[in-house]
Amino acid sequence: MTSQPLHPVESSERHLILDLLRGIALLGICLANYGEFSLYTFLPAEATGAMPTASVDRVGRFIQYLLVDGKFYTLFSMLFGIGFSIILSNAARKGVNGMRLFYRRMIILFLIGLCHLLLLWAGDILILYAAAGMFLPLFWKMPNRRLLVWSVVLLLLPIVVDGCVTLFHWNLSAPVMAATHYFHQKAGITDANFPVWLVECQSYGEVLQFNLAGSFIRMQEFIDGNRLLKVFGLFLLGLYIGRQRLYARLDENRKLLKQVMKYGFLIGIPTSALYAWEATSGHPFGLVGHTVIYAVSVVPLSLAYTATICLWYMKHRTSKYFGWLATSGRMALTNYIMQSVFGIIIFYGIGFGLGAQTGFVYVELIAAGVFLLEVLYSNYWLCRFRYGPLEWGWRMLTYGKRLKLLK
């Protein structure tokens, strides 16, 4: 077979449903992240209870844990695994080795994530995606059934890990906690001023100080939350879906999608309600109980969302609104980073300084507004250009050649 040069997927080769799912995942991620970006999550109960919207905020927090928390990063992670399968499948079809391309893509994504973590927001997820993605090629040739078994095992393994942490009093994140303490002490960040530091700061240098310490807090969250295991388990589930090309054969799998929707909601809604109550009641079930409830609630409901969107798309696939939403998914990297840029402008002291004083319900409305703005400028941009700005740079560095940007 004669090998053909690899090039990015053209617009005509893309599957609209994947971009649509990516766009909706971005909305959910924005809704989930802005509670922290606005610093509302870090405020003491006395401060949030004194806000005019306190009673509505409590309901909003419950609904967020019920319907949003964890569900959309789960969808985004599955889409990452699907994307991996597409890259390698395209490479195999053209008779070339796609592994080197994929590893280069992950290294560049890691560097983008590192810049995002240190320069914009310490809540970055791209570093974890890039690091976990490095292990995906090891599973590329694994039989489908074993791939699913590995996915389930990895998604349930955090229960075992947290059981051992509770039983043996392990502190797996101790080294990064020590680093956090060191940089907090050096910058003068204390428990008292932590929730308002980014609002009171008057220079970008102070934001960088906070992000440096915050990057170690993020590593602590990854370790204590067993994020690597969860994300990689979802990558493998996405890899399985990508191998089956279910996204390209929706009509053939209508019955399967209806079953996933039905059982996903039947399992996911009551368990997510329990998860929301547990999360808003101070985690009365302890670490292991919380991990069990998270495992049995987040993935089923996320799969139900995915199946519902696919069925909705199949029924109304000529609707122009799908195309509008999908453009935000085509610029997923740019829009993910831009959510942080908008967050700084809106909530930090070097911007409008609305953080730590805005009720949760208004924070979520702001997040929805930011996503709507992203949909609008994504449509404007992609009417004139082939790729989003960051996607363009990422692809050029990955493929090692200049790519035409203007249509």
Residue 283: phi and psi, rounded to 5, are 55, 60
- Residue 146 CB coordination number (10 Å): 11
pLDDT value for 2: 45
Domain total for the chain?
1
| 288 assigned to some structural domain | no
- Give me the amino acid identity at 296: V
Q: Which residue has the tokens 């004194």?
A: 50
| 321 assigned to some structural domain | no
**Cα 77 to chain center, whole Å?**
7
| 220 assigned to some structural domain | yes
Q: Could you tell me which residues come within 8 angstroms of residue 194 by beta carbon, excluding any fewer than 6 positions away?
A: 42, 184
**Cα 340 to chain center, whole Å?**
13
| 43 assigned to some structural domain | no
| 279 assigned to some structural domain | no
| 57 assigned to some structural domain | no
pLDDT value for 19: 97
Q: Which residue has the tokens 């609707």?
A: 319
| 145 assigned to some structural domain | yes
pTM above 0.75, yes or no: yes
Whether the Cβ atoms of residue 309 and residue 21 lie closer than 8 Å to each other = yes
| 211 assigned to some structural domain | yes
- Give me the amino acid identity at 21: L
Burial category of 282 from C-beta neighbours within 10 Å (exposed 0-12, middle 13-18, buried 19 and up):
exposed
Whether the Cβ atoms of residue 110 and residue 127 lie closer than 8 Å to each other = yes
Domain that residue 80 falls in: 70-244
Query: What is the mean pLDDT of each successive set of 10 residues along the chain, which is 407 residues long?
Result: 52 80 98 97 95 97 98 97 90 78 95 98 97 94 95 98 96 95 95 95 96 96 97 97 94 96 98 97 95 97 98 91 94 98 98 97 98 98 97 94 93
